[in-house]
Amino acid sequence: MEKHFNYYGTNIFYDVYGSGTPVVLLHGFAEDSTIWSQQVSFLQQHCLLIVPDIPGSGRSQLLQKENVTIEDYADVVNALLAFEQIEKCILIGHSMGGYIALAFAEKFPEKLTAFGFVHSTAFADNEDKKNTRRKAIKLIEEYGVYAFLKNSTPNLFSEKYKKEHPERVSDLTEQGKKFSKEALIQYYSAMISRPDRTRVLEKSDVPVLFIIGTEDVAAPLEDLLKQVNLPKVSYINILNDVGHMSMWEKPLELNQHLLQFIAQCP
């Protein structure tokens, strides 16, 4: 069921499926809620799924304020839960969605029964990563969204998947045409400014899920292995021959890991 609410003048759209334990799925950069379609088809039989379009993605309008932060997106998720009258949920984010989930865990820990990362990290950007994002902003400003994503999107997938499914890589690139320059620049600026949140993992009183791809260059295995032992309770799943997009690269395997995590959380 498609639903929406108004957040300080911005219309935020989301979909609701199934019933039971509330689970919120947050998509990543240059994606929208449809990136989770294979997970929705499977998980809606087992829980109450809430799948929003982050502001500026899909059907949701862009936040109209200066210096938007990852914390601002976490506030939107909090407003969504309030609108749905949900007191606690499991919050799972892919990539940038993971950054939002972690910011939410820091601001609203009492509203989580568990949270998880799908190819995401608690580390802040180092200077090299910040400079890469700044260069990306300049490329988007100069050449446009599609030209930028056409060059960057293939890097999200493993070499094996790119060879076997070039049409899927192309599909994700084509979806990028829907994004405005302003949205992608807002996301990059928010990611650059986000702090290190490993302390949130250390202090977490709820289970934390880690989905890690061995071929992921955006959220590398070696970085994630430094974080997985920080929470009191961790569920660690390493997917072989997977890059940054297990939702498409190995959906059946990801679905099982998500279901096991959801089923074992209180």
By residue range, what is the domain housing residue 171? Answer: 2-264
Q: What is the CATH number of the domain that holds 24?
A: 3.40.50.1820
Say what the pLDDT of residue 188 is: 98
Question: For residue 128, is pLDDT > 80?
Answer: yes
Angstrom distance (rounded) from CA 264 to CA 262: 6
Structure confidence at residue 73 (pLDDT): 98
Given a cut of 80, is residue 106 above it in pLDDT? yes
For 16-56, how does the pLDDT look when each residue is reduced to its tens digit (9 = 90+)? 999 999 999 999 999 999 999 999 999 999 999 999 999 99
Whether the pLDDT of residue 94 is over 80: the answer is: yes
HSE-up of residue 148 (Cα within 13 Å, Cβ side):
23
If one counts the domains in the chain, the total is: 1
Candidates 124, 100, 136; CA nearest to 195 is 124
> So what's the pLDDT on residue 244?
98
